[in-house]
Amino acid sequence: MKGLANALLVIAALSLVVGIISRLTMQPIGGGLEAHAFLDFAQTLLLAVIALSVLKK
């Protein structure tokens, strides 16, 4: 579970960075995906990390 949480955390961080870059440049990235899609995906992954951390305890 800890490995999965760490993997999700890394993916969320990458998605957050891409979303911020997309928001700053005001350009869609990756086939038309806009910033809010990346930021919402990062938010969902971070919520999953929190849920896995609570289940671990």
**56 has pLDDT over 90:** no
Which amino acid belongs to residue 48? A
pLDDT in tens, 1-54: 889 999 999 999 999 999 999 999 999 998 889 999 999 999 999 999 999 999
pTM of the model: 0.88
pLDDT at site 30: 82
Separation of alpha carbons 14 and 20, rounded Å:
10
Beta bridge partners of 29: 33
Residues 6+ away with beta carbon under 8 Å from 5: 49, 52, 53, 56
pLDDT at site 52: 94
Which amino acid belongs to residue 43? Q
